[in-house]
Chains A and B, each alone.
Chain A
Amino acid sequence: MNTLIFRTVAPYLSALMMLFSVFVLLRGHNEPGGGFIGGLIAVSAFAIYGIACGVSAVRRAMKYHPMSIAASGLLLAVLSVLPSIFYRQPAMTSQWLEMPFLGTVIDLSTPLFFDIGVYLVVVGAISSIALSLEERAD
């Protein structure tokens, strides 16, 4: 896969896919999408980047170890379950916070953070597998 065209395009393509994965993640609550599918798109972005530029470049780009990313996602998902304890409601009951931001209203909610947690778990776990497989192939 060491063609000039691919190596030139891959970083832009990966960046675009990362952006799209975040978009899919955020629209997930009311429309098709969500953390799992968003995470998979992000992992494909890393995989393409890895095929083009090598595994070490991907590891540099990710900055943190994939396993740590997955674990922090799990931690975030667990934390997002907890807030309802303060309202005397059962676990996982969604809490909403409407935040005005630059003229529009942003709905922040615990399901959103749960979804971000899922996103990180998927990104971390699958890219960890993908990277070690690609490393073997080298």
Chain B
Amino acid sequence: MAVTQTTVDTAAAMVTEAVPLADWLLVAPVLLTMAGGATAIIFRKKSFVQPWIAIATISLVILSNIGLLNHVLTNGVVTMVMGSWLPPFGIAFTADPLGALLALTASIATLCVAIFAINSIAENERRYGFYPFLLMLLCGVSGSFLTGDVFNLYVWFEVLLISSFGMQILGNEKIQIDGAVKYAVLNLIATTLLLTTTGLLYGLVGTLNMADIAGKIKALDSSGPVLAIAALYFLAFAMKAAAFPVNFWLPASYHTPRLVVAAIFAGLLTKVGVYALLRVMVLLMPEGRDWLASLIGLVAIATMLTGSLGALAQTDIRRLMGYLVIAGIGAMLAGIAVGNEVAISGAIFYAMHSVLIMTALYLLVAFMFQMSGTFSLRDIGGLYIRTPLGAAIGLVLLLAVAGLPPFTGFWAKLLLVAGALEADRGWVAAGVLVSGLLTTIAIGRLWIFAFWRGGNEHTMDGIQALPIAGSSDASEISWSIWLPLLALTALIVLIGVMPEALMSISDNGARTLLDPTEYIRSVFGGIR
């Protein structure tokens, strides 16, 4: 084209410096999972290669996330803007220690689920796309953790929601459709609220970039609209996170899908809601958080108590686990309610712990079902003698979820309680401790009934009942079930024994959230 060359100074609108290769780690999880998911769809008829496509992809994602976390910890917050357009116009991907840590944890949990599913998802369900859905779910979750743009966050929420709808009804049972409807309706309401609130926020500050919002909200002269937006965001994300009183959808739907599916849901989905709360309440609108602190504290305590009391009341193991998820959400909310560095660090640590432990616990339920043939606490029993290793794994995981030392949950709760006492919010600390006690009773009941008691509830002490028909022997349990269970348990013990490294990361994450200077500088201070 013979057009006269005009010189335009692109430096005002575009990134002109060379971008270090390591910054690509920011987008790698999303791109890898998308490409892997697409490949898995193309090969959906070849159900034997499906798991290996997924496992290979997720392993790459884990490696890339390890690299990203390392990059963030050595060089500070990292930002990459899409298409070279400078922020706030280009969509920014920004990773701080919080996002990078959760992205890594999520990919580890997903890998365990992908391995576990090899022998526990039926072949026709594999053809209906279990693995593509799993990869796209991880894509949405990683995108949520790494994006630096509020509207983009909404888009990633959609990606993970649509994948989760698909996974939830895998199996086409009536009860699954019932669970899926409850799950879908409440989540769609929450998503609509999220989008509306984002619209209001855009109307207020005229930008969607998180760093830009954090800066501009401080400069506003009237705080009323910000408080209203913070309250709306709190409601929207509390629904997603299953906080009291909008938590009823979780126990109503998490027992219906396949247990591996429930494992990944319990591990990842609610945590994305908590992550979004941390991001929006602490980084973007600290003023709104201060204003709502007492309310968040009350919601947190109510959530913890509903969770642990619900867990005590259940006789179906799957429902019991659903309530344990809710109790954990309450603990993380308590960290947000307190809001000082120690408590936020505790909430981040708890989120990481919760991803691992809830995934592991649902996998444990699947294992227990295979060993005993029942989900009912009345009928289950005698597992200790049949699988001592399984009993040991179960004990570790259950103690960890209750927050007893020396496992991960203990350190998270320690930070939460220490933070609450430091901030003079003893009642929040009391809530965390009481809920911990109730959870301990609930899990003690579960472990004693399932492992120690000889058989069903009518079995006398000291008698070993015959296993229920249809349950398998410990020797029939395949490696694809042992491996993820043992790996997750080992990780939980390892982090529990040596928590310093992760605590320093979560401290770092809390500092970055509470003082957004570094975050803003990473987005606007020129891209290194």
Contacts and interface: CB of A to CB of B under 8 A. Distances in A.
Nearest to A71: B41
Interface in A79-138: 79, 81-82, 84-85, 88-94, 98, 105
Given A75-B35, A78-B31, A105-B1, A88 B42 contact: no
A67 B133 CA distance: 13
A71 B82 CA distance: 23
Given A90-B23, A92-B82, A81 B31 contact: yes
A89 B84 contact: yes
B80 A91 contact: yes
A88 B84 CA distance: 11
A89 B83 CA distance: 8
Contacts of B23: 90
B20 to A, nearest CB: 8
B83 A72 contact: no
B81 A90 contact: yes
A71 B23 CA distance: 27
Q: For B80, B81, B84, which residue has the most chain A Cβ atoms within 10 angstroms?
A: B84
A112 to B, nearest CB: 14
Nearest to B2: A105
A68 interface: yes
A49 B336 CA distance: 57
B34 interface: yes
Given A74-B34, A78-B34, A91 B41 contact: no
A105 B90 CA distance: 30
A90 B24 CA distance: 8
A68 B42 contact: yes
A131 B18 CA distance: 47
- Interface of A, helix, strand, loop or mixed by DSSP: helix
Nearest to A73: B38
Given A75-B35, A78-B34, A82-B31, A90 B41 contact: no
A90 B15 contact: yes
A75 B31 contact: no
Contacts of B220: none
Nearest to B18: A88
A107 to B, nearest CB: 8
Given A71-B39, A105-B1, A93 B34 contact: no
A98 B3 CA distance: 14
B83 A78 contact: no
Contact of A91 (B18, B27, B34): B27
B31 to A, nearest CB: 5
A94 B83 CA distance: 7
Given A78-B31, A81-B31, A82-B31, A89 B38 contact: no
Interface in B1-58: 1, 15, 18-21, 23-24, 27, 31, 34-35, 37-39, 41-42, 44
A22 interface: no
A24 interface: no
A108 to B, nearest CB: 14
Interface residues of A, number: 23
A94 B90 CA distance: 13
A71 B15 contact: no
Interface string A46-85: 0000000000000000000001101110110111011011
A91 B21 CA distance: 11
A95 B90 CA distance: 17
Given A91-B80, A91-B82, A78 B24 contact: no
A89 B31 contact: no
Nearest to B90: A90
A75 B38 contact: yes
A71 B19 contact: no
Contacts of A90: 15, 19, 23, 80-84, 90, 527
Interface in B268-286: none
Interface string A17-61: 000000000000000000000000000000000000000000000
Contacts of B80: 90-91
Contacts of A74: 34-35, 37-38, 41
B42 A72 contact: yes
B19 to A, nearest CB: 5
A61 to B, nearest CB: 20
Interface in B79-94: 80-84, 90
A78 to B, nearest CB: 5
Contacts of A68: 41-42
Contacts of B44: 67
Interface of A: 67-68, 70-72, 74-75, 77-79, 81-82, 84-85, 88-94, 98, 105
Interface of B: 1, 15, 18-21, 23-24, 27, 31, 34-35, 37-39, 41-42, 44, 80-84, 90, 132, 527
29 contacts: A67-B41, A68-B41, A70-B41, A71-B37, A71-B42, A72-B38, A72-B42, A74-B38, A74-B41, A75-B42, A79-B35, A81-B27, A81-B31, A82-B31, A84-B84, A88-B18, A89-B19, A89-B84, A90-B80, A90-B82, A90-B83, A90-B84, A91-B24, A91-B31, A91-B83, A92-B82, A92-B83, A93-B83, A105-B1
Given A70-B41, A78-B35, A91-B80, 18 more contacts: A67-B44, A71-B39, A71-B132, A74-B34, A75-B38, A75-B42, A78-B31, A78-B34, A79-B35, A88-B18, A89-B15, A90-B84, A91-B24, A91-B83, A92-B84, A93-B15, A93-B84, A94-B83
Instruction: Please list the 6 inter-chain residue pairs (A to B) with the smallest Cβ-Cβ separation, ordered nearest first.
Output: A71-B41, A88-B18, A74-B38, A71-B38, A75-B38, A93-B84
